[in-house]
Chains A and B, each alone.
Chain A
Protein backbone atom coordinates (compact mmCIF):
# COMPACT_ATOMS: atom_id res chain seq x y z
CA UNK A 1 0.00 0.00 0.00
CA UNK A 2 1.47 3.41 -0.91
CA UNK A 3 1.99 5.91 1.88
CA UNK A 4 0.30 8.71 -0.05
CA UNK A 5 -2.18 7.87 -2.76
CA UNK A 6 -3.54 10.70 -4.87
CA UNK A 7 -6.46 9.64 -7.03
CA UNK A 8 -7.88 11.78 -9.81
CA UNK A 9 -7.51 14.89 -7.67
CA UNK A 10 -9.15 18.09 -8.87
CA UNK A 11 -9.20 21.48 -7.21
CA UNK A 12 -11.33 24.35 -8.41
CA UNK A 13 -11.67 27.61 -6.59
CA UNK A 14 -13.16 31.00 -7.07
CA UNK A 15 -10.90 33.92 -7.59
CA UNK A 16 -12.32 37.41 -8.14
CA UNK A 17 -15.65 35.92 -9.09
CA UNK A 18 -14.16 33.54 -11.68
CA UNK A 19 -13.88 29.81 -11.29
CA UNK A 20 -10.29 28.70 -11.61
CA UNK A 21 -9.32 25.07 -12.08
CA UNK A 22 -5.94 24.70 -10.39
CA UNK A 23 -5.64 20.94 -10.60
CA UNK A 24 -7.42 18.35 -12.70
CA UNK A 25 -7.13 14.56 -12.73
CA UNK A 26 -3.90 14.43 -10.74
CA UNK A 27 -3.03 10.84 -9.99
CA UNK A 28 0.17 9.50 -8.47
CA UNK A 29 1.30 7.74 -5.37
CA UNK A 30 4.28 7.97 -3.07
CA UNK A 31 5.70 4.92 -1.33
CA UNK A 32 6.80 4.83 2.26
CA UNK A 33 10.26 6.32 2.67
CA UNK A 34 10.29 7.74 -0.83
CA UNK A 35 11.53 11.25 -1.66
CA UNK A 36 9.39 12.70 -4.43
CA UNK A 37 9.78 16.11 -6.00
CA UNK A 38 6.97 17.85 -7.82
CA UNK A 39 8.23 20.36 -10.38
CA UNK A 40 6.48 22.75 -12.68
CA UNK A 41 6.54 26.39 -13.62
CA UNK A 42 4.94 28.91 -11.31
CA UNK A 43 1.18 28.85 -11.43
CA UNK A 44 0.96 25.18 -12.39
CA UNK A 45 -0.85 24.31 -9.19
CA UNK A 46 2.02 22.57 -7.40
CA UNK A 47 1.52 24.65 -4.28
CA UNK A 48 -2.22 23.98 -4.45
CA UNK A 49 -1.40 20.28 -4.58
CA UNK A 50 0.71 20.59 -1.46
CA UNK A 51 -1.89 22.60 0.40
CA UNK A 52 -4.32 19.73 -0.23
CA UNK A 53 -1.78 17.29 1.21
CA UNK A 54 -1.28 19.64 4.17
CA UNK A 55 -5.02 19.58 4.73
CA UNK A 56 -5.38 23.34 4.32
CA UNK A 57 -7.48 22.99 1.16
CA UNK A 58 -10.16 20.40 0.46
CA UNK A 59 -10.18 18.60 -2.90
CA UNK A 60 -13.05 19.50 -5.23
CA UNK A 61 -12.98 16.04 -6.81
CA UNK A 62 -11.01 12.85 -6.40
CA UNK A 63 -9.34 11.74 -3.20
CA UNK A 64 -6.11 11.68 -1.27
CA UNK A 65 -5.40 8.62 0.85
CA UNK A 66 -2.75 8.43 3.51
CA UNK A 67 -2.04 4.88 4.70
CA UNK A 68 -5.20 3.94 2.83
CA UNK A 69 -7.39 6.35 4.77
CA UNK A 70 -8.93 9.43 3.18
CA UNK A 71 -7.41 12.72 4.22
CA UNK A 72 -9.77 14.82 6.34
CA UNK A 73 -7.76 17.89 7.27
CA UNK A 74 -4.52 18.95 8.85
CA UNK A 75 -2.81 16.32 10.93
CA UNK A 76 0.28 15.65 12.96
CA UNK A 77 1.25 12.72 10.77
CA UNK A 78 2.64 15.36 8.37
CA UNK A 79 5.41 17.87 9.07
CA UNK A 80 5.33 21.00 6.91
CA UNK A 81 7.96 23.49 5.78
CA UNK A 82 6.71 26.49 3.85
CA UNK A 83 8.78 28.75 1.62
CA UNK A 84 8.71 31.52 4.21
CA UNK A 85 7.10 32.42 7.53
CA UNK A 86 6.74 28.88 8.81
CA UNK A 87 8.06 30.14 12.14
CA UNK A 88 6.23 32.19 14.74
CA UNK A 89 8.14 35.46 15.03
CA UNK A 90 7.46 35.87 18.78
CA UNK A 91 9.06 32.55 19.65
CA UNK A 92 12.80 31.97 19.70
CA UNK A 93 14.32 29.35 17.42
CA UNK A 94 14.25 26.95 20.33
CA UNK A 95 10.71 27.98 21.27
CA UNK A 96 9.50 27.33 17.72
CA UNK A 97 11.00 23.85 17.60
CA UNK A 98 9.73 23.06 21.09
CA UNK A 99 6.23 24.27 20.16
CA UNK A 100 6.15 21.86 17.21
CA UNK A 101 7.34 18.95 19.35
CA UNK A 102 4.78 19.75 22.04
CA UNK A 103 2.00 19.72 19.43
CA UNK A 104 3.08 16.42 17.92
CA UNK A 105 3.97 14.54 21.07
CA UNK A 106 1.76 15.53 23.97
CA UNK A 107 3.10 12.84 26.29
CA UNK A 108 6.57 14.36 26.65
CA UNK A 109 7.70 16.43 29.64
CA UNK A 110 8.78 20.05 29.13
CA UNK A 111 12.37 19.07 29.92
CA UNK A 112 12.41 16.28 27.36
CA UNK A 113 10.82 18.57 24.74
CA UNK A 114 13.60 21.12 25.19
CA UNK A 115 16.24 18.40 25.02
CA UNK A 116 14.86 17.18 21.70
CA UNK A 117 14.61 20.77 20.44
CA UNK A 118 18.27 21.43 21.26
CA UNK A 119 19.28 18.15 19.69
CA UNK A 120 17.61 19.05 16.38
CA UNK A 121 18.87 22.63 16.41
CA UNK A 122 22.33 21.19 16.74
CA UNK A 123 21.65 18.84 13.82
CA UNK A 124 20.84 21.81 11.58
CA UNK A 125 23.89 23.68 12.89
CA UNK A 126 22.03 26.31 14.92
CA UNK A 127 22.91 25.32 18.47
CA UNK A 128 24.36 28.80 19.07
CA UNK A 129 21.37 30.64 17.68
CA UNK A 130 18.71 28.80 19.66
CA UNK A 131 17.71 31.80 21.77
CA UNK A 132 17.41 34.17 18.81
CA UNK A 133 14.11 35.34 17.41
CA UNK A 134 13.38 34.64 13.70
CA UNK A 135 13.77 38.35 12.86
CA UNK A 136 17.41 38.05 13.97
CA UNK A 137 18.03 35.04 11.71
CA UNK A 138 18.81 35.06 7.99
CA UNK A 139 16.32 33.49 5.58
CA UNK A 140 18.47 30.39 5.32
CA UNK A 141 18.73 30.07 9.09
CA UNK A 142 14.98 30.45 9.43
CA UNK A 143 14.50 27.57 7.01
CA UNK A 144 16.94 25.49 9.05
CA UNK A 145 14.81 26.09 12.13
CA UNK A 146 11.68 25.15 10.18
CA UNK A 147 13.36 21.93 9.03
CA UNK A 148 14.53 21.21 12.59
CA UNK A 149 10.96 21.65 13.80
CA UNK A 150 9.47 19.42 11.11
CA UNK A 151 12.03 16.67 11.75
CA UNK A 152 11.83 16.95 15.54
CA UNK A 153 8.07 16.42 15.37
CA UNK A 154 8.97 12.94 14.10
CA UNK A 155 6.15 12.66 11.59
CA UNK A 156 6.08 9.95 8.92
CA UNK A 157 5.57 12.45 6.15
CA UNK A 158 7.40 15.67 5.35
CA UNK A 159 5.75 18.20 3.05
CA UNK A 160 7.99 20.95 1.73
CA UNK A 161 6.68 23.84 -0.37
CA UNK A 162 9.66 25.36 -2.20
CA UNK A 163 11.53 25.51 1.10
CA UNK A 164 14.70 26.90 -0.44
CA UNK A 165 13.01 29.11 -3.03
CA UNK A 166 13.71 32.34 -1.15
CA UNK A 167 17.28 31.48 -0.14
CA UNK A 168 20.36 32.67 -2.04
CA UNK A 169 22.10 30.24 -4.39
CA UNK A 170 25.00 29.35 -2.11
CA UNK A 171 22.83 28.72 0.93
CA UNK A 172 20.39 26.76 -1.19
CA UNK A 173 23.11 24.24 -2.01
CA UNK A 174 24.15 24.01 1.63
CA UNK A 175 20.54 23.49 2.73
CA UNK A 176 19.91 20.84 0.07
CA UNK A 177 22.90 18.87 1.30
CA UNK A 178 21.83 19.29 4.91
CA UNK A 179 18.31 18.09 4.16
CA UNK A 180 19.57 15.10 2.22
CA UNK A 181 22.01 14.15 4.96
CA UNK A 182 19.37 14.45 7.69
CA UNK A 183 16.84 12.48 5.66
CA UNK A 184 19.36 9.75 4.94
CA UNK A 185 20.58 9.50 8.53
CA UNK A 186 17.12 8.86 9.95
CA UNK A 187 16.67 5.24 10.93
CA UNK A 188 13.36 5.09 9.13
CA UNK A 189 13.32 7.36 6.08
CA UNK A 190 10.51 9.84 6.04
CA UNK A 191 8.20 10.03 3.07
CA UNK A 192 8.89 13.43 1.48
CA UNK A 193 6.90 15.44 -1.03
CA UNK A 194 9.07 18.35 -2.12
CA UNK A 195 7.79 21.16 -4.33
CA UNK A 196 10.33 23.04 -6.44
CA UNK A 197 10.81 24.76 -9.76
CA UNK A 198 14.50 23.94 -9.83
CA UNK A 199 15.32 20.88 -11.95
CA UNK A 200 18.79 20.38 -10.41
CA UNK A 201 17.36 20.52 -6.92
CA UNK A 202 14.70 17.95 -7.84
CA UNK A 203 17.23 15.52 -9.35
CA UNK A 204 19.76 15.88 -6.55
CA UNK A 205 17.26 15.24 -3.79
CA UNK A 206 14.66 12.83 -5.07
CA UNK A 207 13.91 9.26 -5.94
CA UNK A 208 11.22 10.38 -8.36
CA UNK A 209 10.34 13.58 -10.14
CA UNK A 210 6.74 14.40 -10.97
CA UNK A 211 6.20 17.06 -13.57
CA UNK A 212 3.07 19.13 -13.59
CA UNK A 213 1.79 21.12 -16.54
CA UNK A 214 -0.24 24.23 -15.99
CA UNK A 215 -3.80 25.39 -16.44
CA UNK A 216 -5.16 23.13 -15.21
CA UNK A 217 -2.35 21.38 -13.39
CA UNK A 218 -2.05 17.75 -14.21
CA UNK A 219 0.71 15.15 -14.10
CA UNK A 220 2.70 15.32 -17.34
CA UNK A 221 5.53 12.96 -16.47
CA UNK A 222 6.53 10.70 -13.62
CA UNK A 223 10.23 9.86 -13.84
CA UNK A 224 12.48 7.80 -11.56
CA UNK A 225 15.84 9.32 -10.78
CA UNK A 226 18.42 6.60 -11.56
CA UNK A 227 21.32 7.88 -9.46
CA UNK A 228 22.31 5.76 -6.44
CA UNK A 229 22.44 7.09 -2.91
CA UNK A 230 24.29 8.41 -1.03
CA UNK A 231 24.76 11.14 -3.60
CA UNK A 232 27.69 13.44 -3.70
CA UNK A 233 26.96 16.72 -5.41
CA UNK A 234 30.14 17.47 -7.32
CA UNK A 235 30.58 13.87 -8.49
CA UNK A 236 26.94 13.79 -9.59
CA UNK A 237 27.07 17.13 -11.38
CA UNK A 238 30.18 16.13 -13.35
CA UNK A 239 29.01 12.69 -14.43
CA UNK A 240 27.95 12.43 -18.11
CA UNK A 241 24.85 10.46 -17.04
CA UNK A 242 23.71 13.46 -15.07
CA UNK A 243 24.03 15.78 -18.03
CA UNK A 244 22.03 13.34 -20.21
CA UNK A 245 19.35 12.84 -17.61
CA UNK A 246 19.02 16.53 -16.93
CA UNK A 247 18.89 17.25 -20.66
CA UNK A 248 16.11 14.74 -21.18
CA UNK A 249 14.18 16.06 -18.24
CA UNK A 250 14.45 19.62 -19.49
CA UNK A 251 13.27 18.59 -22.96
CA UNK A 252 10.34 16.72 -21.44
CA UNK A 253 9.57 19.74 -19.34
CA UNK A 254 9.33 22.07 -22.31
CA UNK A 255 7.54 19.47 -24.47
CA UNK A 256 4.83 18.97 -21.95
CA UNK A 257 4.46 22.73 -21.60
CA UNK A 258 4.18 23.33 -25.36
CA UNK A 259 1.61 20.57 -25.79
CA UNK A 260 -0.69 22.61 -23.67
CA UNK A 261 0.18 25.54 -25.89
CA UNK A 262 -1.00 23.67 -28.98
CA UNK A 263 -4.37 22.84 -27.53
CA UNK A 264 -5.05 26.38 -26.47
CA UNK A 265 -4.01 28.52 -29.38
CA UNK A 266 -3.83 31.77 -27.45
CA UNK A 267 -1.30 30.27 -25.05
CA UNK A 268 2.26 31.45 -25.48
CA UNK A 269 5.15 29.40 -24.22
CA UNK A 270 8.33 31.31 -23.56
Chain B
Protein backbone atom coordinates (compact mmCIF):
# COMPACT_ATOMS: atom_id res chain seq x y z
CA UNK B 1 0.00 0.00 0.00
CA UNK B 2 1.39 3.38 -0.99
CA UNK B 3 2.04 6.11 1.53
CA UNK B 4 -0.72 8.19 0.00
CA UNK B 5 -3.25 5.37 0.17
CA UNK B 6 -2.28 4.55 3.71
CA UNK B 7 -2.52 8.06 5.10
CA UNK B 8 -4.82 10.05 2.84
CA UNK B 9 -8.32 9.62 4.24
CA UNK B 10 -11.56 11.57 4.15
CA UNK B 11 -11.59 11.55 7.95
CA UNK B 12 -8.21 13.32 7.92
CA UNK B 13 -9.54 15.97 5.56
CA UNK B 14 -12.52 16.52 7.85
CA UNK B 15 -10.21 16.79 10.85
CA UNK B 16 -8.31 19.55 9.03
CA UNK B 17 -11.61 21.26 8.20
CA UNK B 18 -12.59 21.07 11.86
CA UNK B 19 -9.38 22.90 12.78
CA UNK B 20 -9.96 25.43 10.02
CA UNK B 21 -13.34 26.43 11.47
CA UNK B 22 -11.31 28.48 13.94
CA UNK B 23 -10.46 30.93 11.16
CA UNK B 24 -14.08 32.07 11.29
CA UNK B 25 -14.67 34.58 14.08
CA UNK B 26 -17.10 33.67 16.87
CA UNK B 27 -20.56 35.21 16.83
CA UNK B 28 -21.26 34.46 20.50
CA UNK B 29 -19.97 36.41 23.48
CA UNK B 30 -19.00 33.52 25.77
CA UNK B 31 -15.84 31.53 25.02
CA UNK B 32 -16.49 28.53 22.78
CA UNK B 33 -13.84 26.38 24.56
CA UNK B 34 -12.60 25.11 21.21
CA UNK B 35 -9.50 23.62 22.85
CA UNK B 36 -11.67 20.92 24.44
CA UNK B 37 -13.21 20.02 21.08
CA UNK B 38 -9.77 20.02 19.51
CA UNK B 39 -8.38 17.88 22.33
CA UNK B 40 -11.19 15.35 21.93
CA UNK B 41 -10.78 15.16 18.16
CA UNK B 42 -6.96 15.14 18.40
CA UNK B 43 -6.96 12.10 20.70
CA UNK B 44 -9.01 10.20 18.12
CA UNK B 45 -6.87 11.45 15.23
CA UNK B 46 -3.55 10.60 16.90
CA UNK B 47 -4.83 7.10 17.66
CA UNK B 48 -5.88 6.70 14.02
CA UNK B 49 -2.55 7.98 12.67
CA UNK B 50 -0.69 5.57 14.94
CA UNK B 51 -2.93 2.74 13.77
CA UNK B 52 -2.36 3.73 10.11
CA UNK B 53 1.38 3.77 10.59
CA UNK B 54 1.73 0.43 12.34
CA UNK B 55 -1.20 -1.67 11.13
CA UNK B 56 -0.36 -4.72 9.04
CA UNK B 57 -3.87 -4.83 7.61
CA UNK B 58 -4.80 -1.21 6.83
CA UNK B 59 -8.14 -2.27 5.25
CA UNK B 60 -9.44 -3.25 8.70
CA UNK B 61 -9.13 0.41 9.72
CA UNK B 62 -11.80 1.57 7.26
CA UNK B 63 -14.55 1.31 9.85
CA UNK B 64 -12.83 3.39 12.57
CA UNK B 65 -11.92 5.97 9.93
CA UNK B 66 -15.48 6.18 8.67
CA UNK B 67 -16.84 6.52 12.19
CA UNK B 68 -14.31 9.30 12.91
CA UNK B 69 -15.34 11.02 9.66
CA UNK B 70 -18.98 11.11 10.79
CA UNK B 71 -17.94 12.39 14.19
CA UNK B 72 -15.82 15.21 12.74
CA UNK B 73 -18.58 16.17 10.32
CA UNK B 74 -21.02 16.34 13.21
CA UNK B 75 -18.62 18.53 15.21
CA UNK B 76 -18.10 20.86 12.24
CA UNK B 77 -21.85 21.30 11.75
CA UNK B 78 -22.32 21.73 15.51
CA UNK B 79 -19.60 24.41 15.73
CA UNK B 80 -20.85 26.25 12.66
CA UNK B 81 -24.46 26.23 13.83
CA UNK B 82 -23.57 27.46 17.32
CA UNK B 83 -20.40 29.47 17.92
CA UNK B 84 -19.64 30.54 14.36
CA UNK B 85 -22.98 31.37 12.76
CA UNK B 86 -25.20 31.35 15.85
CA UNK B 87 -28.06 29.71 13.95
CA UNK B 88 -29.38 28.08 17.11
CA UNK B 89 -30.35 29.57 20.45
CA UNK B 90 -27.20 29.84 22.51
CA UNK B 91 -28.82 28.86 25.77
CA UNK B 92 -30.34 25.66 24.38
CA UNK B 93 -27.43 24.71 22.14
CA UNK B 94 -23.99 25.22 23.65
CA UNK B 95 -20.97 24.73 21.36
CA UNK B 96 -19.30 21.29 21.63
CA UNK B 97 -16.26 22.63 23.52
CA UNK B 98 -18.47 23.92 26.32
CA UNK B 99 -20.14 20.50 26.61
CA UNK B 100 -16.79 18.66 26.64
CA UNK B 101 -15.42 21.00 29.28
CA UNK B 102 -18.50 20.48 31.44
CA UNK B 103 -18.24 16.72 30.98
CA UNK B 104 -14.67 16.68 32.24
CA UNK B 105 -15.34 18.95 35.21
CA UNK B 106 -18.47 16.96 36.14
CA UNK B 107 -16.88 13.50 36.06
CA UNK B 108 -16.39 13.31 39.88
CA UNK B 109 -20.01 14.38 40.32
CA UNK B 110 -21.24 11.97 37.64
CA UNK B 111 -19.59 8.80 38.92
CA UNK B 112 -21.96 8.29 41.89
CA UNK B 113 -24.94 8.83 39.55
CA UNK B 114 -23.60 6.20 37.15
CA UNK B 115 -22.93 3.85 40.07
CA UNK B 116 -26.45 4.31 41.40
CA UNK B 117 -28.00 3.63 37.99
CA UNK B 118 -25.91 0.55 37.35
CA UNK B 119 -26.75 -0.82 40.80
CA UNK B 120 -30.48 -0.49 40.06
CA UNK B 121 -30.24 -2.17 36.66
CA UNK B 122 -27.92 -4.80 38.09
CA UNK B 123 -30.37 -5.73 40.85
CA UNK B 124 -33.53 -5.79 38.73
CA UNK B 125 -31.89 -7.53 35.81
CA UNK B 126 -30.04 -10.14 37.88
CA UNK B 127 -33.26 -10.95 39.72
CA UNK B 128 -35.12 -11.38 36.42
CA UNK B 129 -32.36 -13.56 35.03
CA UNK B 130 -32.20 -15.73 38.15
CA UNK B 131 -35.93 -16.44 38.04
CA UNK B 132 -36.79 -16.32 34.32
CA UNK B 133 -34.13 -18.73 33.06
CA UNK B 134 -34.80 -21.66 35.44
CA UNK B 135 -38.56 -21.09 35.15
CA UNK B 136 -38.33 -20.96 31.36
CA UNK B 137 -36.33 -24.19 31.25
CA UNK B 138 -38.90 -25.99 33.39
CA UNK B 139 -41.95 -24.54 31.60
CA UNK B 140 -40.35 -25.24 28.25
CA UNK B 141 -39.99 -28.92 29.05
CA UNK B 142 -43.48 -29.25 30.56
CA UNK B 143 -45.44 -29.08 27.31
CA UNK B 144 -48.95 -28.22 28.53
CA UNK B 145 -47.93 -25.80 31.24
CA UNK B 146 -45.51 -24.26 28.76
CA UNK B 147 -48.19 -23.69 26.13
CA UNK B 148 -50.44 -21.93 28.63
CA UNK B 149 -47.51 -19.92 29.99
CA UNK B 150 -46.64 -18.74 26.48
CA UNK B 151 -50.03 -17.04 26.14
CA UNK B 152 -49.91 -15.56 29.61
CA UNK B 153 -46.39 -14.21 29.14
CA UNK B 154 -47.38 -12.77 25.77
CA UNK B 155 -50.24 -10.91 27.41
CA UNK B 156 -48.34 -9.60 30.42
CA UNK B 157 -45.22 -9.01 28.36
CA UNK B 158 -47.19 -6.77 25.99
CA UNK B 159 -47.96 -4.30 28.78
CA UNK B 160 -45.40 -1.46 28.78
CA UNK B 161 -43.77 -1.78 32.21
CA UNK B 162 -43.79 2.03 32.70
CA UNK B 163 -47.43 1.74 33.72
CA UNK B 164 -46.39 -0.17 36.85
CA UNK B 165 -44.48 2.82 38.19
CA UNK B 166 -47.42 4.66 39.86
CA UNK B 167 -48.77 1.41 41.32
CA UNK B 168 -45.27 0.49 42.47
CA UNK B 169 -44.94 3.81 44.26
CA UNK B 170 -48.11 3.02 46.21
CA UNK B 171 -46.97 -0.54 46.82
CA UNK B 172 -43.33 -0.29 47.75
CA UNK B 173 -41.49 1.58 50.51
CA UNK B 174 -38.83 3.38 48.47
CA UNK B 175 -38.38 4.71 45.01
CA UNK B 176 -35.31 2.53 44.53
CA UNK B 177 -37.45 -0.54 45.20
CA UNK B 178 -39.96 0.67 42.60
CA UNK B 179 -37.17 1.07 40.06
CA UNK B 180 -35.84 -2.41 40.75
CA UNK B 181 -39.36 -3.80 40.41
CA UNK B 182 -40.07 -2.21 37.03
CA UNK B 183 -36.63 -3.16 35.69
CA UNK B 184 -37.29 -6.69 36.90
CA UNK B 185 -40.71 -6.78 35.23
CA UNK B 186 -39.35 -5.28 32.03
CA UNK B 187 -36.56 -7.79 31.58
CA UNK B 188 -38.35 -10.81 33.05
CA UNK B 189 -40.81 -11.43 30.20
CA UNK B 190 -38.47 -11.26 27.23
CA UNK B 191 -35.99 -13.57 28.99
CA UNK B 192 -38.74 -16.01 30.00
CA UNK B 193 -40.26 -16.06 26.52
CA UNK B 194 -36.87 -16.54 24.84
CA UNK B 195 -35.86 -19.32 27.21
CA UNK B 196 -39.13 -21.17 26.64
CA UNK B 197 -38.90 -20.90 22.88
CA UNK B 198 -35.26 -21.94 23.07
CA UNK B 199 -36.24 -25.11 24.88
CA UNK B 200 -39.15 -25.72 22.52
CA UNK B 201 -36.99 -25.60 19.42
CA UNK B 202 -34.17 -27.85 20.58
CA UNK B 203 -33.35 -30.35 17.84
CA UNK B 204 -34.93 -33.67 18.75
CA UNK B 205 -31.71 -35.42 17.81
CA UNK B 206 -29.94 -33.61 20.65
CA UNK B 207 -32.45 -34.77 23.24
CA UNK B 208 -32.42 -38.27 21.71
CA UNK B 209 -28.65 -38.34 22.15
CA UNK B 210 -28.98 -37.32 25.77
CA UNK B 211 -31.65 -39.94 26.32
CA UNK B 212 -29.62 -42.83 24.91
CA UNK B 213 -26.77 -41.72 27.16
CA UNK B 214 -29.17 -42.08 30.11
CA UNK B 215 -28.60 -38.53 31.30
CA UNK B 216 -30.66 -37.92 34.46
CA UNK B 217 -33.50 -35.41 34.63
CA UNK B 218 -31.75 -32.60 36.51
CA UNK B 219 -28.57 -33.15 34.59
CA UNK B 220 -30.45 -32.99 31.28
CA UNK B 221 -31.87 -29.65 32.34
CA UNK B 222 -28.49 -28.17 33.33
CA UNK B 223 -26.13 -29.82 30.89
CA UNK B 224 -28.26 -30.39 27.79
CA UNK B 225 -31.37 -28.19 27.71
CA UNK B 226 -29.69 -25.07 29.14
CA UNK B 227 -26.69 -24.98 26.77
CA UNK B 228 -28.84 -26.03 23.81
CA UNK B 229 -31.20 -23.10 24.36
CA UNK B 230 -28.45 -20.65 25.32
CA UNK B 231 -28.36 -18.90 21.91
CA UNK B 232 -32.06 -18.00 22.27
CA UNK B 233 -31.65 -17.11 25.95
CA UNK B 234 -28.96 -14.60 24.98
CA UNK B 235 -31.30 -13.00 22.45
CA UNK B 236 -33.87 -12.58 25.24
CA UNK B 237 -31.20 -11.29 27.60
CA UNK B 238 -30.22 -8.63 25.06
CA UNK B 239 -33.83 -7.50 24.68
CA UNK B 240 -34.22 -7.52 28.45
CA UNK B 241 -31.13 -5.38 28.90
CA UNK B 242 -32.35 -2.83 26.33
CA UNK B 243 -35.71 -2.38 28.03
CA UNK B 244 -34.01 -2.36 31.43
CA UNK B 245 -32.19 0.84 30.53
CA UNK B 246 -35.33 2.39 29.06
CA UNK B 247 -37.16 1.67 32.30
CA UNK B 248 -34.25 2.74 34.46
CA UNK B 249 -33.98 6.19 32.94
CA UNK B 250 -37.76 6.63 32.84
CA UNK B 251 -38.07 5.72 36.51
CA UNK B 252 -35.16 7.94 37.47
CA UNK B 253 -36.73 10.87 35.65
CA UNK B 254 -40.04 10.35 37.41
CA UNK B 255 -39.01 10.21 41.02
CA UNK B 256 -35.38 9.53 41.83
CA UNK B 257 -32.90 11.69 43.75
CA UNK B 258 -29.88 10.31 41.94
CA UNK B 259 -28.91 8.33 38.86
CA UNK B 260 -28.17 9.30 35.26
CA UNK B 261 -31.83 9.87 34.42
CA UNK B 262 -32.17 12.15 37.44
CA UNK B 263 -29.09 14.12 36.34
CA UNK B 264 -30.64 14.83 32.94
CA UNK B 265 -34.07 15.63 34.31
CA UNK B 266 -32.75 17.80 37.15
CA UNK B 267 -30.53 19.98 34.98
CA UNK B 268 -33.10 20.40 32.26
CA UNK B 269 -35.56 21.53 34.95
CA UNK B 270 -32.93 24.01 36.12
CA UNK B 271 -32.42 25.23 32.57
CA UNK B 272 -28.82 24.06 32.43
CA UNK B 273 -28.84 22.55 28.97
CA UNK B 274 -25.08 22.06 28.77
CA UNK B 275 -25.34 19.58 31.62
CA UNK B 276 -28.47 18.06 30.09
CA UNK B 277 -26.47 17.26 26.97
CA UNK B 278 -23.61 15.96 29.14
CA UNK B 279 -26.09 13.62 30.87
CA UNK B 280 -27.47 12.37 27.56
CA UNK B 281 -23.93 11.72 26.28
CA UNK B 282 -23.00 9.88 29.47
CA UNK B 283 -26.10 7.67 29.26
CA UNK B 284 -25.15 6.78 25.69
CA UNK B 285 -21.57 5.98 26.66
CA UNK B 286 -22.53 3.89 29.70
CA UNK B 287 -25.11 1.84 27.77
CA UNK B 288 -22.63 1.29 24.93
CA UNK B 289 -20.00 0.03 27.35
CA UNK B 290 -22.50 -2.29 29.04
CA UNK B 291 -23.55 -3.73 25.68
CA UNK B 292 -19.93 -4.07 24.59
CA UNK B 293 -19.27 -6.23 27.66
CA UNK B 294 -22.54 -8.12 27.13
CA UNK B 295 -21.64 -8.92 23.52
CA UNK B 296 -18.18 -10.12 24.52
CA UNK B 297 -19.77 -12.35 27.13
CA UNK B 298 -22.25 -13.71 24.61
CA UNK B 299 -19.52 -14.40 22.09
CA UNK B 300 -17.55 -16.30 24.70
CA UNK B 301 -20.51 -18.30 26.01
CA UNK B 302 -21.53 -19.25 22.45
CA UNK B 303 -18.03 -19.80 21.10
CA UNK B 304 -19.03 -23.33 20.07
CA UNK B 305 -21.43 -22.09 17.38
Interface residues of A (CB under 8 A from B): 54-56, 74-76, 78, 80, 82, 84-92, 99-100, 103-104, 133-135
Contacts and interface: CB of A to CB of B under 8 A. Distances in A.
Contacts of A88: 206, 209-210, 224, 227-228
B212 interface: yes
A104 B215 CA distance: 10
A100 B208 CA distance: 14
14 contacts: A56-B212, A75-B214, A76-B214, A82-B208, A82-B209, A87-B209, A88-B224, A88-B228, A90-B228, A90-B304, A99-B223, A103-B214, A135-B304, A135-B305
Q: Interface centre among A82, A100, A103, by most B CB within 10 Å?
A: A103
Nearest to A95: B304
A94 to B, nearest CB: 13
Given A89-B304, A135-B304, A78 B212 contact: yes
Interface of B: 203, 205-206, 208-215, 223-224, 227-228, 230, 303-305
B304 A100 contact: no
A86 B211 CA distance: 11
A100 B305 CA distance: 21
A74 B215 CA distance: 10
B211 to A, nearest CB: 5
Interface majority SS (helix, strand, loop, mixed), chain B: helix
B212 A54 contact: yes
B57 to A, nearest CB: 23
A264 to B, nearest CB: 31
Nearest to B207: A56
B209 A85 contact: yes
A56 B208 contact: yes
B208 A103 contact: no
Given A89-B305, A90-B227, A135-B305, A103 B213 contact: yes
Given A82-B205, A90-B304, A135-B304, A74 B227 contact: no
Nearest to A83: B205
A86 B209 contact: yes
A150 B9 CA distance: 59
Given A85-B203, A89-B304, A135-B305, A99 B208 contact: no
A55 B208 CA distance: 10
Q: Interface centre among B206, B212, B223, B303, by most A CB within 10 Å?
A: B212
B296 to A, nearest CB: 18
Nearest to B212: A80
Contact of A85 (B206, B212, B213, B223): B206
Contacts of A133: 303-304
Nearest to A96: B209
A99 B213 contact: yes
Nearest to A75: B214
Contacts of B304: 89-92, 133-135
A90 B213 contact: no
A186 to B, nearest CB: 20
Contacts of B211: 55-56, 74
Contacts of B205: 82, 84-86
Q: Interface centre among B210, B213, B227, B228, by most A CB within 10 Å?
A: B213
Contacts of B214: 74-76, 103
B80 to A, nearest CB: 52
Contacts of A86: 205, 209
Contacts of A89: 206, 228, 304-305
A184 to B, nearest CB: 24
Contacts of B303: 133
Contacts of A134: 304
A55 B212 contact: yes
Nearest to A132: B304
A188 B228 CA distance: 36
A144 to B, nearest CB: 16
A188 B223 CA distance: 32
Contacts of B213: 74, 76, 99-100, 103-104
B232 to A, nearest CB: 13
